[in-house]
Amino acid sequence: MDIPNEVGKRVPFVYDKVLSSFSYGPDHPMKPARLHRTFQLLESYGVFGWQGATIVPPVLCSEQDLLSFHTPAYVSAVQSLSQGNRVAEAQDFGFGPGDNPVFEGMYDAFRWQVSASLTAVAQVIEGGASRVFSIAGGLHHAMPAKASGFCVFNDAAIAIRSLVDRGYRVAYVDIDAHHGDGVQQAFYDSDRALTISIHEGPEFLFPGTGDVDEVGVGPGKGYALNIPLPPYTNDEVYLWAFTQVVPQAIESFSPDIVVVQAGIDAHYRDPLTHLNVTTQGYLETLRTILALSSKCVVLGGGGYYLPAVSKSWTLAYATLLGRETDLADALPASYTEIYGTDRLRDPQADPLEEDTSEYVWGYVRQKVKQLRAKALPLLNKTPRTDEKAQEL
Helix (H, G, I), strand (E, B) or coil at 225: strand
Helix (H, G, I), strand (E, B) or coil at 54: strand
Q: Give the residue from 105, 132, 100 showing the smallest Cα distance to 118.
A: 132
Question: What is the spatial distance between Cα 24 and Cα 99, in angstroms, rounded to a whole number?
Answer: 9
Residue 104 DSSP symbol: T
Question: What is the spatial distance between Cα 21 and Cα 31, in angstroms, rounded to a whole number?
Answer: 10
Residue 196 φ/ψ, nearest 5 degrees: -125, 130
Residues 6 or more apart from 263 whose CB is under 8 A from it?
Answer: 138, 174, 175, 176, 177, 178, 300, 301, 302, 303
Burial of 91 (0-12, 13-18, 19+ CB in 10 A): exposed
Residue 349 φ/ψ, nearest 5 degrees: -75, 150
Residue 171 φ/ψ, nearest 5 degrees: -105, 125
Question: What is the spatial distance between Cα 4 and Cα 391, in angstroms, rounded to a whole number?
Answer: 23
* Residue 10 Cα to chain centre, angstroms: 21
Residues 6 or more apart from 94 whose CB is under 8 A from it?
Answer: 100, 143, 146, 147, 148
Return the axis-axis angle of helices 106-125 and 155-164, rounded to nearest 10°.
40
Question: What is the spatial distance between Cα 178 and Cα 304, in angstroms, rounded to a whole number?
Answer: 12
The one catalytic residue among 28, 36, 140, 141: 141
The verdict on whether 141 is a catalytic residue reads yes
Question: What is the spatial distance between Cα 138 and Cα 60, in angstroms, rounded to a whole number?
Answer: 17
Question: What is the spatial distance between Cα 71 and Cα 146, in angstroms, rounded to a whole number?
Answer: 9
Active-site amino acid positions = 141
